[in-house]
Amino acid sequence: MAVGDAATRLGLSERRVRQMLADGVLRGERIGRSWVIERSAIDAIADDRPGVGRPWQPHSAWALLAVAGGNEAEGSAVERFRARDRLAEHGLAGLVGRLSARCAVRRFYAHPAVLDDLAGADDVVLGGISAAGHHGGDLIAAGVVEVYVKASMVAALVDRYALDERAERPNVIVRVVDDELWPFAADERFAPWPVVAVDLLESDDARSRRAGAELAARR
């Protein structure tokens, strides 16, 4: 399997999968500049991780997150019933691997001087580490901004803040959502707590994952 396929199967970022390869946690082989990973190794880890499996379609992921937050999800009554049933059986933390397709994740570097302005932009919604404190999480987003943005607005955001996607040490996480599925209200500044909890649970950082688990568990 390629790194991208393995990341989807495990519900992790591609960066985390590459780190697992470097650490010897996953068996793989370098071919040129790319990794090829043994499918059996991926399956063995996936079987031990709760909530891992084929990601749901984005609309199903957003429906479940809406229901988790006590809101009326768009879609059919059957889908809302299914979301409530899944939450009751697995809990939010147990479904993280199924929710990864809700957005595409892109990482950039921005000059530190523009981070505050980016975080306050009208066309973004703060998520993950940037919204954890708003929901009582014990995390400080020092020098990092994590936002949700509509797919149609990404190019303008990149140009406005001179975001560099080739940098080795990104400090801006952009979660891209299809315009038709945009789940946030026009005046919403922070993503709802279930969304933030899942963002944190997907993080490569152990402290962020703990904060996400705590947020998911206490609601």
Q: What is the pLDDT of residues 27-82, one digit of tens each?
A: 888 888 788 888 777 776 665 554 455 788 999 999 999 999 988 766 667 777 88
Task: Check residue 39 and give its pLDDT.
Answer: 79
Q: What is the pLDDT of residues 124-180, one digit of tens each?
A: 999 999 999 999 988 877 899 999 999 999 999 999 999 999 988 999 999 999 999
Task: Check residue 149 and give its pLDDT.
Answer: 98
Q: Nearest Cα to 5, choosing from 28, 23, 32?
A: 28
Backbone φ, ψ for residue 109 (5° rounding):
-110, 135
Q: For residue 83, what are the contacts with CB-CB under 8 A and spacing of at least 6?
A: 60, 63, 64, 66, 67, 68, 73
